[in-house]
Amino acid sequence: VALDFKGAFDKVWWRGLLAHLWAVGVRSKAFKLMQSYLSDRALFVVANGDSSSHMSIKSGVPQGAIWSPLLFDLFIRNVPQRVREALCLFYADDLTLQKDVDREEGAAQRAAEELNDDLQRLYEFGKEWLLEFEPTKSQELIITNSAENHKVTHPPLSMGGVIVEEKEQLEALGFTIDPRGNWSLHAEAVAKEARKRLGAIRRIAHMLDDRAKMMAYKAFVRSKIEYGNLIYWGAAEGYLEKLDRVQSSAVSMLADSSAFFIPSLESRRQAAAVGLTCKLLDGQGRGALSEVQPVFAPPTTKSTRSSDRLAAQRAAGPQHPHQLKAAAIRHTGNRRSLMTYRRSYRARIPEIWNSLDHEALQQQRIEGFIPLRKQLQRHIVSQAHQKS
């Protein structure tokens, strides 16, 4: 269920925000500074050099101000506490509730009742803190790989007496979430937009040299393709290949493509996965990565068992000592769900991380975290380029 705040930043209640600041320990001069910041504010309109009269406002934080996102997050910090039955996914002013539903009889009805309880608590929270939800813009989506999707029925969800509309797909944080949960619609939409942007570059390509063409491609096309690329990594190969064809089309514009190092999108996804893993791992692992936390194993070039797999590992060179455990696969009996999971970041990263060349990590002493992450990312991209 995707929820929408009405007005969001413009509806932040000043007295309520100051109460939150006090509750988290903002005192003395800092508190007085925020009191001053949130008082005697006004707005006016300027058009063609003429200004309207000033109108006083009593709520809201200025959009574009450095403090505003932090203040808004502080104001709504208690929202997750009102959600007791569903998983609350929160980012800035985007709020989504997720509820897993068993296949047993009556499970959908119970899930709907629990979601309605959460929606009612959120509605009451909005009334209490003068931050309204927009029930007419709230949407629900049933995600399932079951062939019996059309038979999934449940009592209607409602918020503030308004029925939550059921959709065939949802838009959240720039992603298109489809009812199959396999990212096919999103990958298709990204490919379509990337082709559109590349077409604009192609129309002026005759005025650009190869270097300018590549700069334009990386800035306006590849950046679009790679937004959230680890999220939609689970899309089927056919959809990812549509993105590869966009890059191939961009390369075809170059008079001399051999003069440029253009890594594949797949190798860049793998490098991004390694970079994200470096950020998440802290010795114990955070969140879902805790189940694949590193197990120290001194590198060895000798095998104690005779098998094709170990022989291949030995031929590839010694492994580095910080191996990740394979993620546990929770098989639901649905083959399509299993394949989507196996293509995802969470399932792929142990294999990618463990395949990093031990020698690459021993080339030089690496001081600091960022150089380590950058070197690993450069290594995996160049390694993929050499293989191709």
pLDDT given at position 21: 96
Average pLDDT over residues 313-329: 62
- With a pLDDT cut of 90, the percent of the chain lying above it is 53
Long-range contacts of 186-190 (CB under 8 A, 24+ apart): 186/232, 186/235, 187/232, 187/235, 187/239, 187/240, 187/242, 187/243, 188/239, 188/242, 190/224, 190/225, 190/227, 190/232, 190/243
Residue 50 pLDDT greater than 60, yes or no: yes
Average pLDDT over residues 45-74: 92
The rounded radius of gyration (Å) of the Cα atoms in the chain is 26
Do residues 257 and 263 make contact, with C-beta atoms less than 8 angstroms apart? no
Q: Which residues pair with 95 in a beta bridge?
A: 3, 90
The average confidence (pLDDT) of the chain is: 84
pLDDT given at position 309: 47
The ranges assigned to domains in the chain are: 2-177, 184-259, 267-387
- With a pLDDT cut of 70, the percent of the chain lying above it is 80
pLDDT given at position 323: 76
Average pLDDT over residues 284-312: 53
Which residues, including other chains, have CB under 8 Å from residue 152's CB and lie 6 or more apart? 101, 108, 142, 144, 146
Listed range (213-227, 334-348, 359-373) with the worst mean pLDDT: 359-373
| pLDDT band (50, 70, 90) for residue 370 | low
Average pLDDT over residues 268-273: 91
Residue 373 pLDDT greater than 80, yes or no: no
| pLDDT band (50, 70, 90) for residue 305 | very low
pLDDT given at position 335: 65
| pLDDT band (50, 70, 90) for residue 105 | confident
pLDDT given at position 318: 55
Residue 198 pLDDT greater than 90, yes or no: yes
DSSP track, 38-79: TSSEEE--EETTEEPPPEEE-B---TT-SSHHHHHHHHTTTH
Average pLDDT over residues 160-170: 92
Do residues 3 and 138 make contact, with C-beta atoms less than 8 angstroms apart? yes
DSSP track, 232-255: GGGS-HHHHHHHHHHHHHHHTT-S
pLDDT given at position 303: 46
Residue 254 pLDDT greater than 60, yes or no: yes
